[in-house]
Structure 1
Amino acid sequence: MLFQFPPVIQAGLAAGKYAQVFTSAGVPIGLARDAATGQFVGHAVGFLNNSGAALNPLVAVPQMAMSAGQMYQMHGGFQAVQASLGVLQATTAVIGVGTVAGVALSAVNLWQTLKLRQDVKQLKLDVRDGFIDLKKALKDQGKEIIQHIDEVAQDIKFEQHRLVLIQAYGRFLEATKLMKTAISCEDVSIKNADLANARQMLSEALADYNNPRLLSETCAAGQLRRHECAWAIDQTIALSYQQQNELAAVSDRLSHLQDKIRQDALTVIERCDTEDELDFLFPELTRIHDHDLLVLESWQNQVDWMRSLPASEVKLLQSADFSNSDATATPDASADPNVLAEPPEQLLYENLKQKSHPASLLDQLQFMIKPKLRQEWKTYITQQAAIAGYKTLVPANLEKASNLAVANLYWYFQVRDESEEETEQSVKSRRAYQ
């Protein structure tokens, strides 16, 4: 992953006047310092993938640079989380509770969700009680969607869910207001008390989103939306600890959150029952893996780097003046107008669909989230390949194979084995009959 710096800092980096900061392990940090004096001169304002495209996470706050224990653009960070949470929660009014039709899922897929978030940020849509007027937002998608929204609204079980979500969002909103107030407090004891109270509200909201009974009543797509809301709350709790410069707590929270995202994703994949749900889940989980987890990892790397600094470097960082670089900061990636283009994750999935079947695609999702799972599939392929005499399908070659190849090979041998068993059973039956 690469970092996007303001133009003045980027120019200095290109000229060799400034140098990007790296950890002792060689991991890049979103900070730059003067190559001659060592003074910190600026922070990154965005993230880029290895191909140079801006990262636009679905849930994670995109900008995490900080100085003197304070987050830069904290207000913008809160707004980003609020916009994401409001849109993600609102789309549950289409997904509803239980089984959901494919036409409804397509109305709030990754692409549509990114568009809705953009509209909320540009104040084209209002978030009220954690929901937006989806009938207004989706009016161009046809009468069937509007009718489905009305049907979900009349469902008694969904209304129960909706009331819980409204309560959870209300707690989140009050907590973020209290955090903003705490930031302005000069009295440390008042600031800490307010942040502690805000964390209590966030923890209560988190419990509502993670309510196991409500989660069990929803389909895989609905579960993903609830988990995404919970992830947004979780990172806000990490932000509260960062405001107190409790870096060990921030690191621990971020590490836990990344693990939880992976585990929740695997749980959702296991619950996927239909191809319509797979069409919804695959692009979105790919976005979360390729964007959100990278941003959270970068945030944790920076926090751990700060924890390792000697006192002299901490003092230097705390005294840094980033006003010049802030004045020329570029917009964050989440405001990128390219969001209106079809996401690359969707294009990737459409390409994979032509080369795989649903069972294989689900395996590929699991491999992406937890690469260690490939080992069991590779072992099975190696065993079956040896029996069939396929000499090239050895562990060394499978190690280099793509997730697509491993999953497809696994299911090729699975279908082959089932076919052979059916043939053997058929022969035995004919012999018994004779």
Structure 2
Amino acid sequence: MTSTRETELRARAAQLDAAHAATDLRTRFLLPEGVVYLDGNSLGALPAGVPAAVEDAVRRQWGRDLIASWNSHGWWQAPERVGDRLAPLLGAAAGQVLVGESTTVRLHQALHAAARMRPAGDVLVVDPASFPTDLYVSAGVAEQVGWQVVECSPDELAGTLADLGSQGRSVAAVSMSHVDFRTGRLWDLPTITAQAHAAGALAVWDLCHSAGAVPVDLDAHDVDLAVGCGYKFLNGGPGAPAFLYVAHRHLAAFSNVLPGWHGHAEPFAMHAGYSPAPGVGRARIGTTPLLSLLALEAALAVFDGVDVRAVRARSLSLTAYLREAIETLVPGTRFASPALDEQRGSQVSVVHPHAYGVVQALIARGVIGDFRTPDVVRLGVAAPYLTHGQMLEAATALAQVLAQGEHLDPAYAERPTVT
């Protein structure tokens, strides 16, 4: 790369950062010095308000007010309250989002509810490239309710549904991930949802890699059910609770496969028989880990006064610039992530035969991404706390790692169990 091109890249980074200054939310986070953090699509950074909120929950609410906090501090209402706070980021009206449990549990509930709402259906369509948990849950639920699982890529869904229809099969649900966790491919949620509905199926979405980063507009696109985690782009912390979305039109028919006393219409009456609570509260199970839930509630404050569409605009600029800088500094780079804005989530994925070593060498230089088997260097771009200047730092570090062979260090030859 010529020095002129280097100068141009630096100048463009500065210009782009100035243009997107309104969505630079770094002051709302506690970020470590000297680190370019590109793993927010796995674990979001720490929002500045979370430590104080957790300390208050521990010292004042739990420590001083003890069990009275279920009433005096609204612990009991927290799953629905936090759900309503999250709902605008998902394009959902209040009363349709519940927070608590894990994504695995929430998907299990959603698919079982879909089976009850489509009793004649005998097929579940899934994307084979989905996150493994989604596939495990899909297979497990299918075995329990008598579905056949049919796999197809989202861009092949229309043809697959037509073939199944010609065979006289009834599709109960189509379950897809909004963003491919390896490649960052953003799928067309409105079109896929409409295709599912045209086949008489329910549309069930996993929003783990889009919630908080990409406008989802669940209500506008008539999504039926959706799930997602709280610890990626929502920055809720390790193990943050997940969410479940149930469209208003389905709430009365939603059947909770895991009925617990928190989801009872009269939980403190201690009836022997189960009657579901009205509204989305019927999806509650048991006692939610309150410290994690309150941490997520505090984390969501980073989005106060910020439209998710503005976050998306910043993300598209950052990821496009990162890709450009990598292409310039490392000619011939293979990308797994799409070049087109409308097809790209909030990450840039690079393909390299020594991807694990590349990731570890980048981490040693203070650029934290992650590895996905077998050959993907995954660079997640959490737009609120990253800059175009940092994208150039990351691209420069990648070029230096490869030029100096740092990724071939024998220390990276054997991968640990957790990567």
Q: Normalising by the residue count of structure 2, what TM-score does the alignment of the two structures yield?
A: 0.24
Q: Normalising by the residue count of structure 1, what TM-score does the alignment of the two structures yield?
A: 0.24
Higher percent of residues as helix = 1
Higher percent of residues as strand = 2
Which of these two proteins has the greater Rg computed from alpha carbons? 1
